[in-house]
């Protein structure tokens, strides 16, 4: 008995149908996996803890970390971050040396420090410092507003 090529043609059509079916199954699988992953991502975002920053009660380390995070995320510029960094400076009177951030647990009202600085800038007619401190105050208020709206 001679086996011809006609049998391979018969099965070739069947192979194409199988490929189409498996392609359709993989599309459905992809769609279901995509939906599942999207749902997981949404749940992770909504269950992520909201960071609260209370500028009226922060350590120097906390405001330093906050400003670095904002700079890294592109939410504030490095020059804006400089003003926040300046607020973290603390010099010991006894020896004139700076107090390391990690060693200082004292809490400050940085919003009051900025308000005081604005008053001094107004009294001195120092427009550059006034603009810088007003910008810092707006950044702090915006951060507080974002926290309030996310709760």
> pLDDT tens for residues 27-42?
567 667 666 776 766 5
Is the pTM here over 0.75, yes or no? no
Q: Are residues 141 and 83 in the same domain?
A: yes
Q: Are residues 76 and 6 in the same domain?
A: no
Q: Are residues 2 and 70 in the same domain?
A: no
Question: d(Cα 62, Cα 5) in Å, to the nearest integer?
Answer: 78
Q: What is the pLDDT of residue 29?
A: 73
The closest alpha carbon to 136, from 147, 144, 125, belongs to: 144
Q: What is the pLDDT of residue 145?
A: 76
Question: d(Cα 99, Cα 142) in Å, to the nearest integer?
Answer: 29
Q: Are residues 30 and 79 in the same domain?
A: no
Q: Are residues 44 and 62 in the same domain?
A: no
In a domain, 53, yes or no: no
In a domain, 90, yes or no: yes
Question: d(Cα 44, Cα 38) in Å, to the nearest integer?
Answer: 10
In a domain, 79, yes or no: yes
Q: What is the pLDDT of residue 132?
A: 93
In a domain, 126, yes or no: yes
Confidence of residue 78 (pLDDT cuts 50, 70, 90): very high
**Domain encompassing residue 40:** 1-48
Question: Tokens representing 125?
Answer: 């007619």
Cα(first)–Cα(last) distance of the chain, in Å?
Answer: 81
In a domain, 8, yes or no: yes
The total of structural domains in the chain comes to 2
Residue 48, pLDDT above cutoff 50: no
Q: What is the pLDDT of residue 32?
A: 73
Q: Are residues 6 and 64 in the same domain?
A: no
């Amino acid at each position: 008995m001679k086996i011809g090529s006609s049998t391979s043609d018969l099965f070739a059509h069947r192979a194409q149908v199988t490929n189409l079916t498996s392609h359709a199954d993989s599309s459905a699988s992809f769609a279901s996996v995509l939906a599942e992953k999207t749902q997981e991502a949404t749940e992770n975002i909504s269950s992520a803890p909201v960071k609260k920053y209370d500028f009226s009660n922060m350590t120097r380390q906390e405001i330093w970390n906050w400003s670095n995070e904002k700079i890294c995320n592109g939410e504030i510029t490095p020059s804006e971050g400089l003003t926040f960094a300046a607020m973290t400076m603390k010099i010991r009177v006894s020896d004139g040396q700076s107090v390391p951030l990690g060693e200082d647990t004292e809490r400050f009202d940085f919003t009051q420090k900025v308000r005081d600085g604005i008053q001094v800038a107004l009294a001195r007619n120092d427009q550059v410092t006034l603009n810088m401190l007003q910008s810092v105050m707006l950044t702090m208020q915006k951060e507080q507003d974002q926290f309030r709206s996310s709760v």
